[in-house]
Every structure is written in C-alpha cells, then in structure tokens.
Amino acid sequence: MSHVTAQPPGTTTAKSAGPGRPKDPGKRAAILAAAKRMFVSEGFERVSMDQIAAEAGVSKLTVYSHFGDKESLFAEAVRAHCEEGMPTDLFVAEPNTPVRERLLAIGNAFFSMIMTPEAIAGHRILCSPQVACSSMPAAFWEAGPQRVQQSFAELLERRVASGELEIDDCELAASQFFTLLKGEMHAQAVFGFQCSRRVATTPEQHVASVIDLFLRAYAVRR
C-alpha cells in the first residue's frame, strides 16, 4: 500500500527479514489473531501497534517487520478471515457436483463468514468517517470481496462452458450473487437491529431462496 501510518518519534521501522532471517509463521499468525481480536473489541482507531504487539507476545519491531503499518495489518486480517471462511478449494472445479449443490455450499460459507462478529465489526470500522476517507476501503476490497468474487466468476465461467448456466457477464453475475446473499439480514446485523415485523427466516432458508432466484435468472432452460 502507498499509504503508511506515521510512527511515533524515535520509532524505527524494522527492515524486512533477509534471506538469512526468514519470518516466523507462528509469530505472523499470532499477530493476525491478536489484531483481529483487538480491532473487534476496540475499533481500528483506538488500537495501536504497541498494543497488538503486547497482545501477540512479540515486539513492536516484529509487527512492523511482518506487516509494515496498521492499515496493511488490517488488510491482511481481512484476507486471513476471508481465506479461512472461503478457502480456495471451495471454488475448484467439481463438474460432477450439481450446480445448485455447489452454489449452496458457497452461499452458506459466504453468509456464515460475513455474519461473524469479526466481519460485522470490520464492516462498521470501514464505515467510520476516519477510515472511509483513507486508503483502507480499497485495501479491504482487494483483500476480501474482490478475491471471492473473482474466484466465483471463474467458477461460473466453467459452469457456462459446461452448458449448465447461461450468463453473458460472469463478473456481474458474481457481484449480484453476493449482494443478494448479504440482503436484509446482514444490513440489520451491521445496524445492530432486528425488524420484528417480518416472519423469521433462518440463514439456511435465506441462502436457499437466493440460490433459487439466481438459478431462475441464469440456469439453462431445457
């Protein structure tokens, strides 16, 4: 990222580890886990790299060595959350799996991921005035939604090639798919509000209804 958070006077950013000093993956995982916990509980602005280092049990220089700045650390936390909730193998080619079954698996994984407390807190952080005017929304988009939508668009292209779906613009269809999955339930969770006027719908019912709507639009008519 081009934007770098100013560090306190006297702080020296750690240099990248050279060939003789490979970065410790265990420390990286501990830093990411600590950052996710603290961003959720305290918010982005109120958390310092010192606090994250103390929570992870490492030095501040180690945190800077792995991630560079707090914005980059937030983006990597988003990426790790998305890769954990929607791993790459969720999008690998499985031509023998019926398309509806495959879409249900992806839809349920996505909805479960975006409804976690970490994801809801991250969404609220991005909507805060201080963060919305920074470079972080773009970093978030590249680290999370863009990766997921691109992987799903490629899966749709394979299903179009196999004659199961009829889609002119798979990238647009992927965007529509995930937007529909968020729906009202995700918006209410972000607002901390649940409308009592509607009949209760389970997450599974919500996802299934989105899949049915998507297939009515794009399934090949036989």
Sequence-ordered list of residues with C-beta below 8 angstroms from that of 39, at least 6 positions apart, any chain: 47, 74, 77, 118, 121, 122, 125
Give the whole-angstrom CA distance, residue 202 versus residue 29: 33
- All domains of the chain, ordered by start, with CATH? 1-77 (1.10.10.60), 86-218 (1.10.357.10)
pTM value?
0.76
94: phi then psi, degrees, rounded to nearest 5: -135, 75
What is the predicted pLDDT for the residue at 132?
A: 73
| Alpha helices (runs of H) in 43-169, residue ranges in sequence order | 49-56, 60-67, 70-85, 99-114, 117-127, 129-132, 136-143, 145-161
CA distances (Å), 123 to each of 39, 103, 155, 203, in order?
11, 24, 26, 19
SS3 20: coil
Q: Which of 118, 116, 97, 96 is nearest to 106 (CA)?
A: 97
> Are 72 and 35 contacting, i.e. CB atoms less than 8 angstroms apart?
no
Q: Which of 210, 131, 58 is nearest to 218 (CA)?
A: 210
Cβ neighbours around 19 below 10 Å, total: 5
What is the predicted pLDDT for the residue at 34?
A: 93
End-to-end CA distance of the chain: 48
Mean pLDDT for back-to-back runs of 10 residues, the chain (222 residues): 41 42 83 89 86 94 92 85 86 91 96 89 80 77 86 96 96 96 89 65 93 96 76
> Are 33 and 118 contacting, i.e. CB atoms less than 8 angstroms apart?
no
What is the predicted pLDDT for the residue at 111?
A: 95
What is the predicted pLDDT for the residue at 100?
A: 96
Joined together, the tokens standing for residue 165 give 């779906």
